Amino acid sequence: MIEYIKGEIKQLTPTFAVLDKAGIGFYLQISLNTFTELQNLQECTLFVHEVIREDAYLLYGFYGSEEREAFRKLINVTGIGANTARMILSSLTVAELESCIISENIHTLKSIKGIGLKTAQRLIVELKDKVIRSGMSGGEVSPASVAGNQVRQEALAALQMLGFTPSQSSKAVNTVLKEFPTLPVEQLIKAALKIL
């Protein structure tokens, strides 16, 4: 098993990266979140998940081990394959995904390409207990972070109802929460609107 690959970034696109390690080019499929982290880097370490099939040997690369653990939990859900899991992790961060599952936010999950109502419901049913127990990344989920994620989700829902796209809303809310992580939902929405 390959745990991680550290090497020079030879090629980078929103869907894959090629890392050169000792003259060997490793082609790793990546999420948009990993792509964002890798921009402007010349060298990096990617945590690896291998998929070995009869007709293919695929490598999935993740900037953080918590994203890889979330990916592994997702592909264990009935009906979720590696490409769908990568799409989910391209649309939501690990923290956002945890929040959606804990708060049973089917609307946000359904907004991801390839996720319908039944798949969103299955994600929540199969992962909610695991996420509450140990998070998507296998770490401890504190009650405070669950409450914080609830506030974040409410703010995102409100901004989207006001007509802002999910990505605009998410960027604005994340910017505010970096500076003021404990804001109540009303103040978070007001602060985000000032940025938008």
pLDDT in tens, 12-40: 999 999 999 999 999 999 999 999 999 99
Co-location of 34 and 89 in the same domain: no
Could you list the residue range(s) of the whole structural domain that residue 23 is in?
4-63
Co-location of 75 and 108 in the same domain: yes
Co-location of 52 and 70 in the same domain: no
Co-location of 78 and 98 in the same domain: yes
Co-location of 70 and 127 in the same domain: yes
Co-location of 75 and 59 in the same domain: no
Co-location of 115 and 168 in the same domain: no
In the chain, the number of structural domains is 3
Contact 152, 173 (CB under 8 A): yes
- What integer is the mean pLDDT of 46-54? 94
Co-location of 72 and 124 in the same domain: yes
Percentage of the chain beyond pLDDT 70 is: 93
pLDDT in tens, 73-83: 999 999 899 99
